[in-house]
Chain A
Amino acid sequence: MKNNTSNNRKGVMGRLIKTIFEFYPVLLPIVVGCIIFNAIVSAIPAVFMQNIIASVENTWQSGDWKAVSGEITQLVLLLVVCYVLSLIASFTFNRLMAIITQGSLKKFRIKMFNGMQDLPIKYFDTHNHGDIMSYYTNDIDALRQMISQSIPQLMSAGIIVLSVFCIMMYYSIWLTLVVLVGVIFMFIVTKKVGGNSSKYFIRQQMALGEVEGFVEEMMNGQKVIKVFCHEEESKADFDKINNRLFEDSESANKYANTLGPILNNIGNVLYVVVALTGGLLMISKAPNLSISGLAMGISIVVPFLNMTKQFAGNINQVSQQINAVVMGLAGAKRIFELIDEQPEEDHGYVTLVNAREEAGQIVECNERTGMWAWKHPHKDGTVTYERLTGDVRMYDVDFAYEEDKTILHNITLYAEPGQKIAFVGATGAGKTTITNLINRFYDIADGKIRYDGININKIKKEDLRRSLGVVLQETNLFTGTVMDNIRYGKLDATDEECIDAAKLAGADDFITRLPKGYETPLSSNGSNLSQGQRQLLAIARAAVANPPVMILDEATSSIDTRTEVIVQRGMDALMKGRTVFVIAHRLSTVKNSDVIMVLEQGHVVERGNHDQLIAEKGKYYQLYTGAFELE
């Protein structure tokens, strides 16, 4: 199990690096080169320092500056050259890194967002929205931290440690061994303390999510809390989860805060031990074992001490990145999960085109004619055109959201162009499900659906949906002006078209009374509008799209009956000669439908118009006379 997760982490890390490389195939290698170069140059001064100190060591008693000035000047100049190169490299990679970090985040965001647009509705129905949001907030933030800070630092520290290690070996293997023992010790401590810290940081994250969920629910119901004087209970409940968050947060930070001093002081002790060992070696005149073959002396011990400090400092730095790396990888893993989601499949090939009638024949054309046709290419290479009329037929349709739990059974219906078809039934009877099948948000399990005589599986999904207008009970508006929101139905609509649509929907009246009329900005799903007003806007949005088939799913549920009459009149005018599917709770809304279908547990139990159904004295009659409960 543990092995599995660490393998997983490596896989995620590998994929992350590969993806960033694909984003920046030129810049990334340059950055890596600069980091490596800079790291090596940072390690080299130790060599010059050793040489300079050695020269000083040999001559300071004589006081003869001239004897060594040439050598020292030369060494210092070399050092300056190194430093200048290092500065150039450092400047380059820091700036490029800014581009790569932000650019990669942007590309990840866009990749996620674009992928998300192509996911089937099922994904959104089965995933928590707050959870989806955290891909874009928490996970991206964790990733930013890792790309911009952790990865370069880890890389740079790794290379510095490696090159310093080589230089150490060059001077003295004995002292290097001492350092090595210290490093192993530091490593163990980091793993232990840092591991605990990461564990609690992840717990803290979870506790924070819990607080967020709780607070969201309570804030939503805050007015109910007030009305029931339930403040004290709500405080007590909050205290409980707030304390849990405190405990996890405290533990996480305790471990994180102590790791620094521990490693720091191991570094200090290591420093002392190296000094002692060096001193001992010098005093005892023990033979020095080294690649260079230099004898042990002050000119070796002094730079060695500096190298030890550098070594420990870098390891300390790496250890500080552990939390960021653990959380960054967890974020990256989730981001890849979203990117890897299977997009909605579409095998349709029948498309919707503008058409014109010429000598009794339907001909495709480019300009908008108000007449639409289905362009149907056949296997033999011929293309036929079928006029879009809005004739929808279902034959023996079965459907299940989850296998074995069939929601719809043997649904058969005919909707001729211009007809108004209503669905009536209790919650869960399958009314909305039927409309989900017509626009292919979900695919049927068995049976057939034909649209203007064409099997809807053959129609390209976007063309199918473009021919259907949908107004849902829950209205979703977007940040922007009222006008922008209406225009969402038809992006190239003129202001006049939008206003006409609003008038048709009975929305013009309240819009003109808003502070800035049609230019009034809406935010947080139009929270400054009432539910009824939002529904009117949604209807105006559908009206401007002007589709041949319209689905109204409880679209007027929050509109008062007086206004509904106005809306109804407008809609009837708009939908003259077009097909409308209506789902409504109020029977007054569906009464004038051509066909009313009463659904019960996924079965059509009655069908007919109002008069027929009343005469039948069945379920509909009971509903209508209030003898039966709809919910």
Chain B
Amino acid sequence: MYKQLAKSIREFKKDSIKAPVFITLEVLLECTIPFVIAQLVNQIKAGCEFRVIAMYGIILVAMAGLSLTFGIIGGIASATASSGFARNLRKDIYYKIQTYSFENMDRFSTSSLVTRLTTDVSNVQNAYMMIIRAAIRFPLMLVFAFIMAFVMGGKMAFIFLVVVPILGFGLFLVIRKVMPIFKKVFRKYDALNTSIQENVKGMRVVKSYVREEYEKKKFDGAASDICADFTRAEKILAINNPLMQFCLYTVMVFVLFFGSYTIITSQGMDLDVGQFSALLTYSFQILSSLMMLSMVFVMITMASESASRIIEVLDEDSSLANPLDGQKIVKDGSIDFERVSFKYSETAKKMSLADINLHINSGETIGIIGGTGASKTSLIQLIPRLYDTTEGVVKVGGIDVKDYDLEALRNQVAVVLQKNVLFSGSIKENLRWGNKEATDEEIIEACKLAQADEFIQNFPNGYDTYIEQGGSNVSGGQKQRLCIARALLKKPKVLILDDSTSAVDTKTDAMIRKALREFIPETTKIIIAQRTASVEDADQIIVMDGGSISGIGTHAELLKNNPIYKEVYLSQNKAGEQDEE
């Protein structure tokens, strides 16, 4: 599973290797320094000359200098390696998402993708740094200190063989008990934060229904529950420190007592005072590295949850294959549906579209009408191949959409989605999404067609007006018209408007349709609408109901023989007609 993540290391492989190598060197020195110091202590004790002491001093300072150098090199390398790894990982995730089809995107919520790109990557970054720094440093230190303890302390070092397993086993038990609690409580913690977010967003609802106290009570319960779990876990973790102290103290007492006994009874033959003090230093190193190791282990286990969430994104392959050497040119705007059935997921029982047959001539204006859930949107999403059909073939310009190069197809089949999104940036920048090279004249022309030019000119900054994130500083109707203009700039062969004028008043709506008819006559125009008024003058109107076509025809025809169309029409017009008389 981690192979997938390791691919993102790339140019930071060098640093990733440099870090542990230099840290190894640093640890080597760190472990030999007490050894040399023990020698020095013995020399001092033996009453050596100052020259000897000075020599030892120089050696030691040199060693410290080297250790410092290695430590800094290792530290910097590990910083670069881990930050770089995180950068590549974010990049890989982001790039991967760019390849996703609509179907892939439906599987992940926006907020979950954001979390993966931020929090999860940060967790993995920290764990990675831990691995290249601590995961090598501490075992190494443990082994070295162990060897040195035996070299220096001889038999005395056997105490470690008793104490280390006790500590190791204790830490193991603690981790085993604590990890499941943490995993569970982190999930609860996510849920708590979600509920805070809902509360903040829905504050108007909370206050309108005077549910402040209810919300407080609910939150109190959830927060207390989490607190109880966390406290339980941390109480178990709280054994770690005393356990470590216990082991350290045991070693100290043992070494002090038997050490002095050995020194005196052997008259300094088996052990001397210098070794004695080194032994105490090593005991501290051994136990603390064991302790750090257990903490590293906990951190890595926690990050593994994040890692698997990241891998989920990286492993998700686009469900749409772009053909090699796909057709680049869409001949004309004719569209055919041949026995098309479609469902959103393989497991869905019901087809969203069932056995659709349809022919649309190039340049026609097509209206689509139908209630919520009638699969109007599903139908048009098949044309620019946002989804693949489950059965049957969709053709544009006489060629199966699967045979087109995806980018070419989508550039020539423009869709204005129901869920309109403008991005932060100027109006011009937003419009240029349709065509990077569009001149100012082309932009203005497209906006005139979409009936957007007038209100844009009325903004103090005109086309350079800055659009806030999500287009929050323009009204719904203005947003829709900007989105239409953006699509027009593609100069498409097929233009699909998915309920794109719902917030535009009837008069402007009619003007947009008129402009489209007059200025881009050769483009096929497909208009999904709630209002029958928006489709009345279409060449053909398709009435959708529950995933199939209930009727096709002109306004007059449908009014005569399609009960659904008639009902919709009457519900929108009856009262009005009476009033107008």
Contact among A76, A302, A523 for B41, CB-based, below 8 A: A302
* Cα–Cα, bound, A228→B86 (Å): 29
Q: Are A124 and B371 in contact (CB under 8 A)?
A: no
Q: Are A254 and B76 in contact (CB under 8 A)?
A: yes
| B side interface size, CB within 8 A | 165
Does A491 sit at the interface, judged by CB under 8 A? yes
Main secondary structure of the interface of A (DSSP, over half): helix
**B45, B268, B505, B576: most-surrounded residue (chain A CB, <10 A):** B505
**A109, A212, A627: most-surrounded residue (chain B CB, <10 A):** A109
A137 contacts which chain B residues (CB < 8 A)? 193
Q: Are B83 and A258 in contact (CB under 8 A)?
A: no
Q: Are B211 and A530 in contact (CB under 8 A)?
A: no
Contact among A239, A250, A488 for B91, CB-based, below 8 A: A239
B150 contacts which chain A residues (CB < 8 A)? none
| Nearest neighbor of B257 in chain A, beta-carbon distance | A76
Q: Are A57 and B273 in contact (CB under 8 A)?
A: yes
A215 contacts which chain B residues (CB < 8 A)? 94, 113-114, 117-118
Q: Are B253 and A219 in contact (CB under 8 A)?
A: no
| Nearest neighbor of A108 in chain B, beta-carbon distance | B223
Binds B, one of A170-178, A266-274, A400-408, A451-459: A266-274
B240 contacts which chain A residues (CB < 8 A)? 94
* Cα–Cα, bound, A72→B237 (Å): 36
Binds B, one of A353-361, A377-385, A464-472: A464-472
Contact residues of A between 147 and 167, Cβ < 8 Å to B: 148
Does A591 sit at the interface, judged by CB under 8 A? yes
Contact among B83, B245, B260, B568 for A52, CB-based, below 8 A: B260
A493 contacts which chain B residues (CB < 8 A)? none
Q: Are A121 and B204 in contact (CB under 8 A)?
A: yes
Q: Are A109 and B223 in contact (CB under 8 A)?
A: yes
Does A195 sit at the interface, judged by CB under 8 A? no
* Cα–Cα, bound, A133→B199 (Å): 10
Contact residues of B between 224 and 241, Cβ < 8 Å to A: 224, 226-227, 230-231, 234-235, 237-241
A351 contacts which chain B residues (CB < 8 A)? none
Does B347 sit at the interface, judged by CB under 8 A? no
Q: Are B235 and A257 in contact (CB under 8 A)?
A: no
* Cα–Cα, bound, A427→B122 (Å): 42
Q: Are B373 and A220 in contact (CB under 8 A)?
A: no
Q: Are B117 and A211 in contact (CB under 8 A)?
A: yes
Q: Are A49 and B256 in contact (CB under 8 A)?
A: yes
Q: Are A229 and B411 in contact (CB under 8 A)?
A: yes
Does A30 sit at the interface, judged by CB under 8 A? no
Contact residues of B between 162 and 202, Cβ < 8 Å to A: 191, 193-202
Once A250-B84, A476-B201 are accepted as A-B contacts, the answer to whether A279 and B265 lie under 8 Å apart by CB is: no
Q: Are B193 and A283 in contact (CB under 8 A)?
A: no
Q: How far is the CB of A230 from chain B (nearest CB, A)?
A: 6
A262 contacts which chain B residues (CB < 8 A)? 68, 71-72
* Cα–Cα, bound, A614→B83 (Å): 67
B253 contacts which chain A residues (CB < 8 A)? 76, 79-80, 83
Q: How far is the CB of B563 from chain A (nearest CB, A)?
A: 12
Q: Are A63 and B209 in contact (CB under 8 A)?
A: no
Known: A94-B239, A489-B209. 8 other contacts (CB 8 A): A79-B256, A86-B249, A90-B245, A98-B237, A272-B37, A283-B47, A306-B277, A631-B475
Q: Are A91 and B83 in contact (CB under 8 A)?
A: no
Does A190 sit at the interface, judged by CB under 8 A? no
* Cα–Cα, bound, A423→B37 (Å): 88
* Cα–Cα, bound, A243→B477 (Å): 37
Q: Are A476 and B205 in contact (CB under 8 A)?
A: yes
Contact residues of B between 78 and 107, Cβ < 8 Å to A: 78-80, 82-84, 86-87, 90-91, 94-95, 97-102, 105
Does A447 sit at the interface, judged by CB under 8 A? no
Contact residues of A between 77 and 98, Cβ < 8 Å to B: 79-80, 83, 86-87, 90-91, 94-95, 97-98
B419 contacts which chain A residues (CB < 8 A)? 223
Q: Are B114 and A261 in contact (CB under 8 A)?
A: no
Q: Which 9 A-B pairs have the closest CB atoms?
A: A261-B71, A257-B75, A476-B202, A253-B79, A98-B234, A94-B238, A221-B421, A106-B227, A631-B477
Contact among A219, A243, A614, A630 for B87, CB-based, below 8 A: A243
Binds B, one of A387-395, A554-562, A599-607: A554-562
Q: Are B64 and A113 in contact (CB under 8 A)?
A: no
Q: Are B102 and A533 in contact (CB under 8 A)?
A: no
Does B305 sit at the interface, judged by CB under 8 A? no
* Cα–Cα, bound, A264→B141 (Å): 15
Does A245 sit at the interface, judged by CB under 8 A? yes
* Cα–Cα, bound, A133→B198 (Å): 10
Q: Are A276 and B54 in contact (CB under 8 A)?
A: yes
| Nearest neighbor of B250 in chain A, beta-carbon distance | A83
Q: Are A97 and B238 in contact (CB under 8 A)?
A: yes
* Cα–Cα, bound, A52→B576 (Å): 106
A611 contacts which chain B residues (CB < 8 A)? 579
Contact among A57, A213, A227, A488 for B384, CB-based, below 8 A: A227
* Cα–Cα, bound, A328→B265 (Å): 55
**B30, B94, B195, B280: most-surrounded residue (chain A CB, <10 A):** B94
Q: How far is the CB of B420 from chain A (nearest CB, A)?
A: 8
Once A87-B242, A110-B220, A261-B68 are accepted as A-B contacts, the answer to whether A117 and B503 lie under 8 Å apart by CB is: no
* Cα–Cα, bound, A222→B567 (Å): 37
* Cα–Cα, bound, A298→B49 (Å): 15
Contact residues of A between 531 and 547, Cβ < 8 Å to B: 532-533, 545
Q: Are B37 and A470 in contact (CB under 8 A)?
A: no
B249 contacts which chain A residues (CB < 8 A)? 83, 86-87
Q: How far is the CB of A504 from chain B (nearest CB, A)?
A: 18
B219 contacts which chain A residues (CB < 8 A)? 109-110, 113-114
Contact residues of B between 14 and 73, Cβ < 8 Å to A: 26, 30, 33, 37, 40-41, 43-45, 47, 49-50, 53-54, 56-57, 60-61, 63-65, 67-68, 70-72
| Nearest neighbor of B235 in chain A, beta-carbon distance | A98
Does B212 sit at the interface, judged by CB under 8 A? yes
**B209, B267, B276: most-surrounded residue (chain A CB, <10 A):** B209
Q: Are A278 and B114 in contact (CB under 8 A)?
A: no
**A276, A465, A585, A627: most-surrounded residue (chain B CB, <10 A):** A276
